[in-house]
């Protein structure tokens, strides 16, 4: 066996896996109560975007979810107006995107005029076996300190949310809380599909001083964001399988 060649191949495979985690993330630049609370460019979420960029990811702005070409993962927000509602074409595009290996973070929200359009948000996530509550919870803030064991909650002890919606998970989508807060759920991608996360609040990732009871700098809020982004940008199982097969095949040919 040519040991040098085999080690070189393993190094190439390792490098490819590492670079695969540097993703192009499409962030919602359409939905939001106002310009300040739009995730893509709003001034209330400067640190939110900074954290994602610091992880090595490239951010692109999404105003139309019917065209997701060149994007690896998406972050989609609850509509606040009819003009922001997800069209049937966009819902189909998102479903196809995730089924094909794209990651998704879907963010429900209880502020502004979001209640009038929670039905549209639920229609978008229905195929992922998740549903946001019509009721609003904890307008004065809530600290959640009980979590199910999962990659999304690794190392997370306390998260502060306020004015949020509960997430009902079913089927292959799992509740990640260990209590009745039910503010977050996740769906592991199967059969080549991407991983998805469903969270009932966006204010937990606002910049400090923007009026949120718990901001991105509080408790483990930032760590939760980093875990979620890592989870929705992992290489697809098919990519890893191909890399593994390539290494084995090379070793066999060169043995």
* Cβ pair 53, 59 in contact under 8 A: yes
CA distance 74 to 57: 12
Within a domain: residue 3?
no
Any idea how long the chain is?
Answer: 255
Q: Which residues span the domain enclosing 169? A: 22-234
Give me the number of domains the chain comprises.
1
Q: pLDDT class for 211, splitting at 50, 70, 90? A: confident
Q: What is the reported pLDDT for 16?
A: 35
Domain contains 250 = no
Q: Is residue 14 part of a domain?
A: no
5 in a structural domain: no
16 domain residue, yes or no: no
Name the nearest CA neighbour of 233 among 104, 82, 66, 62: 104
The β-bridge partners of 155 are none
Q: Within a domain: residue 248?
A: no
Task: Provide the pLDDT for residue 67.
Answer: 94
CATH number at residue 222: 3.40.50.880
For residue 4, is it within any domain? no
pLDDT (0 to 100) of residue 7: 31
pLDDT digits (tens, 9 = 90+) for 163-193: 999 999 999 999 999 999 999 999 999 899 9
**Can you say how many angstroms the Cα of residue 106 is from the centroid of all Cα atoms in its chain?**
6
Q: Characterize the bridge pairing of strands 184-187 and 159-161.
A: unpaired
Q: Is the pTM of this model over 0.75?
A: yes
Per-residue pLDDT, 44: 96
Q: Is residue 130 part of a domain?
A: yes
> pLDDT for 75-106, tens place per residue?
999 988 888 999 999 999 999 999 999 999 99
């Amino acid at each position: 066996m040519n040991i040098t060649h085999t080690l070189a191949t393993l190094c190439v495979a390792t490098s490819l896996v590492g670079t695969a985690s540097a993703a192009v993330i499409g962030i919602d630049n359409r939905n939001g109560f106002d310009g300040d609370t739009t995730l893509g460019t709003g001034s209330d979420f400067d640190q939110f975007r900074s954290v994602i960029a610091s992880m090595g990811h490239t951010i692109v702005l999404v105003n139309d979810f019917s065209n997701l070409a060149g994007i690896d993962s998406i972050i989609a927000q609850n509509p606040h107006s009819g003009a922001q509602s997800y069209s049937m074409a966009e819902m189909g595009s998102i479903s196809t995107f995730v089924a094909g290996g794209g990651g998704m973070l879907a963010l429900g929200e209880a502020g502004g005029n979001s209640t009038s359009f929670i039905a549209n948000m639920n229609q978008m996530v229905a195929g992922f076996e998740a549903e946001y509550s019509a009721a609003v919870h904890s307008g004065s803030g809530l600290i959640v300190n009980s979590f199910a064991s999962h990659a999304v909650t690794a190392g997370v002890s306390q998260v502060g949310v306020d004015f949020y919606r509960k997430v009902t998970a079913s089927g292959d989508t799992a509740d990640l809380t260990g209590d009745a807060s039910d503010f977050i759920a996740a769906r592991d991608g199967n059969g080549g599909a991407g991983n998805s996360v469903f969270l009932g609040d966006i204010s937990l990732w606002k910049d400090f001083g923007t009026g949120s009871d718990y901001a991105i700098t509080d408790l483990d809020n930032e760590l939760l964001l980093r875990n979620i982004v890592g989870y929705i940008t992992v290489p697809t199982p098919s990519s890893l399988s191909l890399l593994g097969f390539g290494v084995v095949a090379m070793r066999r040919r060169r043995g």
